[in-house]
Amino acid sequence: LLVVEKLRIRTPRKRKKKANPKLVGSSLEASSETSMRRCVASAFVSSIAALHAPRPGLLMRHCRKHLSLSGVASDLLPFEELPYAAASVEFETIGIDYAQNENSRSIVMDRLEASLAFWKTNNFSSVWLHIPTPQSALVADANMRFGFELHHANALKGTIVLKKWLRDDEDKVPPYPNTQIGCAGLVLSDSNEVLLVKEWSGVSPNRTPSRQWKLPGGLVDVGEGLGEAACREVFEETGVTCEFENILSFWHRHGLTFGKSDIYVVCLLRPSTSEINVDPIEISDATWMPMAEYVRTQSHPLIDRILETSFDVDVASLRSTEGSEQEARFSKGRIEPLASAQEFSVQWPGRPGYQTYISVPNQRS
């Protein structure tokens, strides 16, 4: 009720002059008396509904939304409230014509100053600024005037993202995600043939085929599942289509280019086709190799570890003259792992299911 009373007091009784939308942007959508009253009613309904909400603090979140977007505080930048009491400003939405207004940078910084005061007063923890590359001069302004720090560059949206911690305690904003995720496919046929590739080494036209056979694979695309990524990479590199079965292993290593870490997941795939059609740009050769032949003639640390641990294959024995019993396993049907991480769905009420992988023992014949 206090919020509603505050809104009522600030409601203009008479509209004298229309505000310039170039200066105040989209936050003056409710500047007329009628629109303001609608906003007051909306804030009242939202506030009453929030009183019955199970989560504490929901009332304040409803009020903040209306205060920031309704025109009550016309000098505020329009923002979206994120989890953990964060405010996010998309500078493409603030409604200022940079080409027509020579003082646009100063106007934006003044509104940012007012917004910072509002966010601090209302107990926000952090602020995020998404600045389009053509307006990158605002990066220096926000840094020098208010201490905003570079967090990351969003190549997909073409924005520079700054952040500022508002509280007096320790800055809890995590660094930009520093781990890349890749997938490989261990494509195993019913006759225990494994699909292997050789990449190119060096720069064209003097590149040469790599010496070692490896599993086809690559980086996961944005929004792509692990099994989906493994099947896509196998198809792009070899032309073989597959079905995802489960996850066999992953590694986690550090210190790659730009200081990145790397998680590389190996998926067990079942081939749907067998014809090979390699990508000549990335792959120099691909082949179906019988598993027994691979163990006797090749060596790859990751493949060897998976065979020994997941499939209980005595690699050392097969590489000696005493490997007859182990080799006989490959003629008795497709080998299966002792256990694997199979895909399940974990779901909260009202939310989409999350792909979740849980280790499950396999029944062996």
pLDDT for position 142: 96
Q: Would you state the pLDDT for residue 307?
A: 94
In this prediction, residue 257 carries a pLDDT of 79
Return the pLDDT at 16: 42
Measured between alpha carbons, how far is 158 from 37 in angstroms, rounded to an integer?
38
Cis peptide before 205 (omega within 30 of 0): yes
Which one-letter amino acid corresponds to residue 143?
N
Q: CB under 8 Å, gap of 24 or more: what pairs does 215-218 form?
A: 215/184, 215/185, 215/186, 215/187, 215/266, 215/300, 215/302, 215/303, 216/184, 216/185, 216/187, 216/283, 216/286, 217/182, 217/183, 217/184, 217/185, 217/264, 217/266, 218/182, 218/183
Tell me what pLDDT residue 33 has: 43
What's the token pair of residue 223? 């929004």
Q: What is the pLDDT of residues 214-248, one digit of tens each?
A: 999 999 998 999 999 999 999 999 999 999 999 99
Question: Which residue type occupies 105?
Answer: R
pLDDT for the residue numbered 101: 65
Residue 74 confidence (pLDDT)? 62
Cα–Cα distance measured from residue 207 to residue 209, given in angstroms and rounded to the nearest whole number? 7
Element (H, E) at 120: helix 104-121
- The answer to whether the CB of 104 falls within 8 A of the CB of 98 is yes
pLDDT in tens, 79-102: 999 988 999 999 887 767 666 666
Residue type, 297: T
Q: Residue 320 has what pLDDT? A: 77
Residue keyed to tokens 């023992």: 361
Per-residue confidence (pLDDT) for residue 84, from 0 to 100: 87
* 168-177: pLDDT as tens digits: 998 988 888 8
Predicted local distance difference test score (pLDDT) of residue 287: 98
In 3D space, the residue among 312, 342, 182 whose CA is nearest the CA of residue 248 turns out to be 342
CA distances from 69 to 39, 57, 62, 72, 223 (A): 9, 19, 11, 8, 30
Nearest to 360 by CA among 334, 336, 342: 342
Report residue 51 as tokens: 């009183």
**pLDDT < 70: residue spans in the chain:** 1-74, 95, 97-102, 321-324, 364-365
